Amino acid sequence: MKPSKELPNQNLFFEIADPLKSRPFRLRSRLPAESLPDLKQLAAHSQGMKEVSAPIQFDAVQGKNIDDFLWTQLVRPACVLSRVVRLLEENGIDGWSTYPVKVYDPDGFIVPDYHGFEVSGPAYKADYDRSNVIEKPPPVPKGKSYQIYRGLYFDESQWDGSDMFWVEGVHVVTERTYRLFRTHKVGNVRFTPLAERETRVRHVQRD
């Protein structure tokens, strides 16, 4: 990992996430849905905590098209095309790795050129004391208002300079990664500046 030479501006970090589009394939792992240990194992792969010896198999169960990123029915993991891997390698982006997968289209044919994608950069604790608490109006008529934290922050003095890392389970990338993806029109991925990210207060467990 490259060292950080100065404290970063947290406005230049971005969450990278599933845009929830309907046209790209949506994948489902062939690991048994009722098997909790297997689901934990799948999450560990996506966070770079566990090596994969045999390809993990995924079926396209929704959508019609391939895209640079293919997301699963779970929050994680994702699969990426080889062109995304080449972009990251050729531009020296770090904090990530891949693992072998087999992706099958709705007709049962293998879709080539995909890799399981995992963020292997460090994980940092969120500092919600730095976030703004905002009252949101009811999402439906006669519903209840709710509070959100606006902004996701962490102790930037601990950042090791990785281009990809985790903050409280959120996949975070640097501005240069964001610009690289935008320049090369990497598809089926959503970016949100950390300063604008919203988290429901009731979903956060505070110490």
Per-residue pLDDT of the chain (207 residues; tens, 9 = 90+): 454 445 566 668 999 999 999 999 999 988 755 444 454 555 555 555 556 668 999 999 999 999 999 999 876 789 999 999 999 999 999 999 999 999 999 999 999 999 999 999 999 999 999 999 999 999 898 889 999 999 999 999 999 999 999 999 999 999 999 999 999 999 999 999 999 999 999 989 876
Encoding tokens for residue 189?
């991925």
How many residues would you count in the chain? 207
Amino acid letter, residue 169:
G
Nearest to 137 by CA among 129, 148, 127, 128: 148
Whether 174 and 161 have beta carbons less than 8 Å apart is answered as no
**Spatial distance between the Cα atoms of 93 and 140, rounded to a whole number of angstroms:** 42
Tell me which DSSP letter residue 74 carries: S
Angstrom CA distances, 176 to 14, 82, 167, stand at 10, 20, 18
Nearest to 119 by CA among 92, 89, 98, 88: 98
User: What was the pLDDT predicted at 84?
Assistant: 99
Give the residue extent of every domain in the chain: 11-203
**Spatial distance between the Cα atoms of 28 and 163, rounded to a whole number of angstroms:** 28
Give the Cα-Cα-Cα angle 182, 186, 16 (nearest 5 degrees).
75
**pTM as predicted:** 0.84
